[in-house]
Amino acid sequence: MKQVLKESLPTNGDTSVLAGVYGPAEVKVSKEIFNKATLEVNLRPKIGLPGVAEKSRERLIRNTCEAVVLGALHPRTSITVVLQVVSDAGSLLACCLNAACMALVDAGVPMRALFCGVTCALDSDGTLLLDPTAKQEKEARAVLTFALDSVERKLLMSTTKGLYSDAELQQCLAAAQAASQHVFRFYRESLQRRYSKS
């Protein structure tokens, strides 16, 4: 079975994550799923060992990837996404989601749609900020991160921290859906640049 390794380095402002995809490859019998590929995500912090925050992000990223990857095309195999934080200046989960998507596309892993991550922050007076910095996230009343697909801008995953109203949640989701168009355009332009070179 062939093994594929692809890396990409997307950035959200000053936040950057290096991503690699390994697989489809042989899987341990204990992790084998007979009708689809086993998807694993490993998130490594800039320094030190992964902690609770990284494990939580790994689960969110894995669930998002599983929603779009056509794992049934590679049963009884393993696809591993490895994410290495290069710098974290805010909106880290969104950057990790974007890095994972670009790496999966670059590796040729079959997916039903692309996906992207967008982070929103609400400050004390209700002002909405897209792609907040670490300082803005710290000072914000609420921070919301969404994963959206490229076909219908459907919500694949959301995680929130802080206090917000239902109306603010809908406002943030609408802003994230609008911002996702720019992210998908960036994907398209990046892939065109990469594959138009001969």
Q: Is the pLDDT assigned to residue 198 strictly greater than 60?
A: no
**Predicted local distance difference test score (pLDDT) of residue 2:** 31
Q: What pLDDT score does 8 carry?
A: 41
Q: How high is the pLDDT of residue 163?
A: 87
pTM: 0.83
Over residues 107-143, the pLDDT tens digits come to: 888 888 899 999 999 888 888 888 888 888 888 889 9
Q: Which CATH number fits domain 3-196: 3.30.230.70, 3.40.50.2000, 3.40.190.10, 3.40.30.10?
A: 3.30.230.70
SS3 9: coil
User: Quick check: 68 and 114 in contact, CB under 8 A?
Assistant: yes
Looking at residue 151, its pLDDT comes to 87
**Closest by alpha carbon to 99, among 70, 133, 64?**
64
